[in-house]
A and B are shown apart, each in its own frame.
Chain A
Amino acid sequence: MGKYVVKRLLHGLISIICVVLIVMLLIYSLLDRNKVFSGDPNYNHTASNNRVTYEQSRLEDFGYLDYVPYADYVNLLALEGEIDEETRAAAVQIGRTADADSEITAEYVAKFTEYYESKGYKIQRLDADAKRNGQLRDGGQPQLFASRDIPLLQRAVDYFTKMFFVDNIHYVPDYIDMGKRGLTFTLFDPTKNPEGASKKVFSPAIIGNGTKHKYLLYFDENFPYFHQNLLTLNLGESYTVNRGVDVFTTMTEPQGAYVLSSVTYPTGVTVDRADNLHTATYVQGSLNATASNAEWFTDDYTNVITNKKGMSKLGYSFVIGIISTILAYVLGLPIGLAMALRKDKLLDKIGTFYVMFIIAVPSLAYIFLFKALGGKAGLPTLFDMDSTDKLMYILPIVSLALPSIANLMKWMRRYMIDQMNSDYVKFARSGGLSEGEIFTKHVWKNALIPIVHGIPGSVLGAMTGAIITERVYVVPGAGNLLTQAINRYDNGVIVGVTLFYAVLSVLSIILGDVLMAAVDPRISFTTKDR
């Protein structure tokens, strides 16, 4: 069995990789990339050469291409210490045309061209766009840059290799001087033991310098109390939906109103804010970027997640999904059983009508119908994250449960009737078993086996959220993330969400098979030719 499951998992993994490849091909190669500018207000404010570089840098942000302006190249050389500040300042100035370059500029332009052309980049030089009187037009400065489309295969390899990020002390580029790099273990977490505190609070933590996260291991009062940042999951960075944040974080971070508490910052300043200092990550040069950062922090680990009142997108979707799934099994199975036992009687007819209604009527129609009915009955029809009213969960749960109930009723009835007409039941009956015995000892156990196969799928599927239900009731769940990302050309999120869905669906099929084999000893996946 174990061997079989491993084989299936490997197969699943290959399928998932193919899915990601196809989706990348769809969104990066087939779609018209200029659509990203259609809703961009800044685009029309740029002109001339600036528009070209703006396009390039935006396309880089959206993940279409690699774009390196010449100035960045020279500045990087200076940062890495290859050239001194004087050379940098001289080399970074490019002439209005290539001929007008100074000697030192021409030298570095040649180096730049050679270096990036060898890596497959296309070098573009835009000469100054001048008016007749010699003045530059708006945005008409000369530009020099290298760019290239990221090849599909490289994109995919990059994506999968960067998916699991192991935090290390070389995360911060080596040319940045940030004191001694390394990991320190402390028994007294500095966020809980501000300098000068009289009583020490015992709380072990591992703190890094040079790493991405400041706190790599720590304890706090939030479930599950023990947290790690050593290994993090990167499903793809968002650009428009939730700027600069990973898809997985977008799905799992809390939403809603801030939870304020008195936070003592590393400098010892205590302010009523919602910052969770344990989540601090490194942002280059951020310490002196704002006055408040300089006042509160002592290093560049200033990017913190805030504590919020609500659950995450995944959380809301899962709570609603799992309750409706449980409801569906608790109601759907017994009703389906009862329908099969009283075939062609009134209950069966009502049930069949209900199933037909749910299958045939567009789901949008009955969700709106229930919203209208629920509103008439006085239930809240809109979801509000900051409200503690549990009643607002009722309508989304009911709307989600109704189709699942119909589906389970339909299949339970079908399987039961199939079993009751089978030969072994006739044999049992002729052997003198009572109908009750036949039912409890044989029929329902057999009828339940195919139902069991679907359970992991329903449980995992609860996480993906439901598009229409969440839209109609304004639930801040994960169901709308994909459509949102598509509408806003957020390629990173599209890939990440697709991957998440694919993993769930592959897992649920495998778990379903395993569960089915566990329930029914006759089913075995290990022997050949079953």
Chain B
Amino acid sequence: MELEKLGLTEEELFSHVDHSALESEKIVAPRYSYWRSVFRVFFRKKINIFVLTLLGLLIAFAYIYPSLVDYDPFANLMDPASKHLSPAAAMAYFGKDLQWILGAGASGESTFDAIWNGSRISISLALVCGAINMTVGVIIGSIWGFSKRVDAFMTEVYNIVGNIPQILLISVMAMLFAPNFWTMVFALTVIGWLFIAYFIRTQVVIIRDREYNLASKCLGTSTVKIAMKNILPFMTSVIVTLLATEIPSYISYEVFLSYIGLGMSDMSLGRLIYQAESAMVTPGWEMEFWSPVAIASIITVVLYVVGQNLGDASDPRTHM
């Protein structure tokens, strides 16, 4: 731009700025908020919006839907014509309703309702176990990784406890207490945290002796500050990724335990699958078996994908 055209003198246009030692040390960078960046990166991928919607839908069906319909598995117990109906037959028998879209089960109950009821129990189990195991595991794992004395002791504990068959432990728990929801939680968490702690310990050991931490230590930073400012940010993505594999794995494990007859007494997804196993090979009854299997798979896949992508997004290196 031609300065002359403005019709202003040089004094009016410019003013002299004194050298400021303080200002010259300032580094200007765009405002950065960690969690805002995480969500920006997360929602950049279109698939995440889709998967998140699906997850919302699944949770709504699992937690809100059962309270809207009055589900009673034994309501049609005395009605022999209502048992083992294919979707079409169930619709014809009970009338067209969302409830009968997957047919009727062994005691004339709606498979659709049974699945969401089971999903609620399974998802709750996974979330509760995940929360307990992750909290305990991360805290103990960090101490385990930091302290060499704790490391020697805990590694021995890990070698011993890790060799006790989990199935044995769970069946002992199931026999000691009633095989209900909280017993299952206890059985899955009583040594479950140890494996997470071991994983975290390995991660901490890897980062602990990195040069920047040594430098930080030499400059006199306290251990707590190193843990909070240097190591925790690095661990966030690892923890989220781990959570993404852990939560679906509890659902899978519950299905597995129910299948071998060690499950809980509540009608979880695993128990539904276990009870419908004989229906798989009976022509016309396949839906009873495959629909809980399919829903269990969808729930675990959705949880896994959300967790993995959230884990990717929470890695600061992807925030560029």
Q: Is the CB of B261 within 8 A of A482?
A: no
Q: Are A31 and B297 in contact, CB atoms less than 8 angstroms apart?
A: no
Complex CA distance for A483 and B167, rounded to whole angstroms:
8
Q: Answer yes or no: B172 CB below 8 A from chain A CBs.
A: yes
Contact check, A23 vs B293: say whether CB atoms are below 8 A apart: no
Set A11, A368, A482: member contacting B165, Cβ < 8 A: A482
Q: Are A31 and B256 in contact (CB under 8 A)?
A: no
Judged by a CB distance under 8 angstroms, whether A416 is at the interface is no
Q: For A487, give the chain B residue with the smallest CB separation.
A: B261
Q: Are A360 and B300 in contact (CB under 8 A)?
A: yes
| CB <8 Å contact, B300 and A361 | yes
- How far apart are A343's CB and chain B's nearest CB, in angstroms? 15
Residue from the list A362, A467, A502 in contact with B255, Cβ < 8 A: A362
Q: Is the CB of A468 within 8 A of B167?
A: no
Q: How far is the CA of A52 from the CA of B199 in the complex (A)?
A: 51
Report A378 CB to chain B, min CB distance, Å: 16
Does any Cβ of B come within 8 Å of A153's Cβ? no
B169 / chain A contacts, CB cutoff of 8 Å? 26
> Which chain B residue shows the least CB distance to A483?
B260
Closest chain A CB from B255 CB (angstroms): 5
Within A8-56, which residues are at the interface with B (CB < 8 Å)? 11-12, 15-16, 18-19, 22-23, 26-27, 30-32, 35
Asked if B280 is at the interface of the complex by the 8 Å CB criterion, the answer is yes
Task: Among A360, A364, A497, find the residue whose CB has the most chain B CB atoms closer than 10 A.
Answer: A360
B248 touches A486 (CB 8 A): no
Please indicate the chain B residues that have their CB under 8 angstroms from the CB of A467 in the complex.
Answer: 167, 256, 260
Chain A, residues 465-482, CB within 8 Å of chain B (1/0): the string is 001100100000000001
A31 partner, pick from B172, B259, B300, B305, beta carbons under 8 A: B172
- Interface-located stretch among B33-41, B84-92, B137-145, B155-163: B155-163
- Please determine whether A26 and B255 come into contact, CB atoms closer than 8 angstroms: no
Say whether A30 contacts B172, CB under 8 Å: yes
Q: Does B275 contact A (CB under 8 A)?
A: no
CB distance from A349 to the nearest CB of B (A): 12
Is the C-beta of B6 less than 8 angstroms from some C-beta in chain A?
no
Contacts A31-B172, A31-B175, A35-B175; A362 near B252 (Cβ below 8 A):
yes
Structural contact, B304 and A362, CB atoms closer than 8 A: no
- Asked if B27 is at the interface of the complex by the 8 Å CB criterion, the answer is no
Question: Within the assembled complex, what's the spacing in Å between the Cα atoms of A507 and B109?
Answer: 51
CA distance A528 to B260 in the complex (A): 46
| Secondary structure of the B contact surface, majority rule | helix
Q: Is the CB of B255 within 8 A of A364?
A: yes
For residue A171, CB closer than 8 A to chain B, the reply is no
- Chain B residues within an 8 Å CB radius of A18: 160
**Is A293 in contact with chain B by the CB < 8 A criterion?**
no
Known contacts A483-B260, A486-B168; A11/B293 CB under 8 A: no
Whether A23 contacts B168 by the Cβ 8 Å rule is yes
Pick the residue among A12, A26, A356, A362 that contacts B168 (CB under 8 A): A26
Q: Is A365 an interface residue (CB 8 A)?
A: yes
Is the CB of B107 closer than 8 A to any CB of chain A? no
Residue of A nearest to B304 (CB): A360
**Is B3 engaged at the interface, CB distance under 8 Å to the other chain?**
no
State the CA gap A362–B293 with chains docked (Å).
Answer: 8
Q: Roughly how many angstroms separate A362 CA and B294 CA in the complex, as a whole number?
A: 10
Given the known interface contacts A362-B297, A365-B297, A482-B168, the answer about A16 and B163 at a Cβ–Cβ threshold of 8 Å is yes
Mark each residue of chain A from 348 to 377: 1 if its CB lies under 8 Å from any CB of chain B, else 0: 000000001101111111001100100000
Determine the distance from Cα of A468 to Cα of B169 in the docked complex, in whole angstroms: 18
A-side contacts of B172, CB under 8 Å:
26-27, 30-31
- B175, B294, B300, B308: the one contacting A32 at CB < 8 Å is B175
Q: How far is the CB of B245 from chain A (nearest CB, A)?
A: 6
- Size range of the interface on B? 35 or more
| B256 & A468 in contact (Cβ 8 Å cutoff) | yes
CB pair B304–A15 under 8 Å, yes or no, is no
In the assembled complex, the CB of B163 is this many whole angstroms from the nearest CB of chain A, namely 4
Q: What CA separation (Å) do A94 and B292 show in the bound complex?
A: 64
Asked if A276 CB lies within 8 Å of chain B CBs, one says no
Are the CB atoms of B175 and A498 closer together than 8 Å? Answer: no
In the bound complex, CA of A68 to CA of B273 (Å) = 48
Query: Residues of A contacting B304 with CB < 8 Å?
Result: 356, 359-360
Q: Which of B156, B245, B260, B300 contacts A362 (CB 8 A)?
A: B300
Contact B256 A506 (CB under 8 A): no
Nearest residue, chain B, Cβ from A361: B297
Q: Is the CB of A368 within 8 A of B280?
A: yes
Cα–Cα distance between A286 and B171 once the two chains are bound (Å): 39
- Give A494's nearest chain B residue, CB to CB: B168
Given the complex of chains A and B, what is the CA–CA distance between A26 and B168 in angstroms? 9
B251 contacts A23, C-beta separation under 8 Å: no
Is A505 on the interface with B (CB-CB < 8 A)?
A: yes
Chain B residues whose C-beta falls within 8 Å of the C-beta of A368 in the assembled complex: 280, 289, 293
Chain A residues whose C-beta falls within 8 Å of the C-beta of B273 in the assembled complex: 364
Chain B residues with CB under 8 A of A362: 251-252, 255-256, 293, 296-297, 300
Contacts of A15 in B (CB 8 A): 156, 159-160, 163
Complex contacts, A357 vs chain B, CB 8 Å: 301
| A188 within 8 A of partner (CB) | no
B301 and chain A: residue at smallest CB distance: A360
Q: In this assembly, does A411 line the interface, its C-beta being within 8 Å of a C-beta of chain B?
A: no
The answer to whether A471 and B260 touch across the interface, beta carbons within 8 angstroms, is yes
CA distance A501 to B289 in the complex (A): 33
- A505-B256 contact given A26-B168, A30-B176, A361-B297, CB 8 Å threshold: no
Chain A positions within 8 Å of B163 at CB level: 15-16, 19, 498, 501-502, 505-506
CA distance A9 to B156 in the complex (A): 13
| Residues A356 and B305 in contact, CB atoms below 8 Å apart | yes
Across the interface, which residues of B come within 8 angstroms of A482, CB to CB? Answer: 165, 167-168
Bound CA–CA A494/B167 (angstroms): 11
- The docked-state distance in angstroms from the alpha carbon of A368 to that of B297 is 12
Name the contact of A23 in the complex, choosing from B164, B175, B262 (C-beta under 8 A).
Answer: B164
Chain B: CB-nearest residue to A505: B163
Q: In the assembled complex, which residues on chain B have CB atoms less than 8 Å from the CB atom of A486? A: 167-168, 171, 262
Bound CA–CA A476/B160 (angstroms): 29
Enumerate 30 A-B pairs (CB-CB under 8 Å) in ascending A order.
A11-B156, A11-B159, A12-B159, A15-B160, A22-B164, A27-B168, A27-B172, A356-B308, A359-B304, A360-B300, A360-B304, A361-B301, A362-B252, A362-B296, A362-B300, A364-B252, A365-B294, A365-B297, A368-B280, A467-B167, A483-B262, A486-B168, A486-B171, A497-B165, A498-B164, A498-B168, A501-B165, A502-B163, A505-B163, A506-B159
In the A-B complex, list the 7 residue pairs whose CB atoms are closest, starting with the nearest.
A362-B252, A360-B304, A502-B163, A360-B301, A15-B159, A361-B297, A18-B160
Q: Which A positions have Cβ atoms within 8 angstroms of B?
A: 11-12, 15-16, 18-19, 22-23, 26-27, 30-32, 35, 356-357, 359-365, 368-369, 372, 467-468, 471, 482-483, 486-487, 494, 497-498, 501-502, 505-506
19 additional contacts, CB 8 Å, given A30-B176, A501-B165? A22-B161, A26-B164, A27-B172, A32-B175, A32-B176, A357-B301, A359-B304, A360-B300, A360-B303, A362-B297, A362-B300, A368-B293, A372-B280, A467-B256, A486-B167, A487-B261, A498-B163, A502-B163, A506-B159
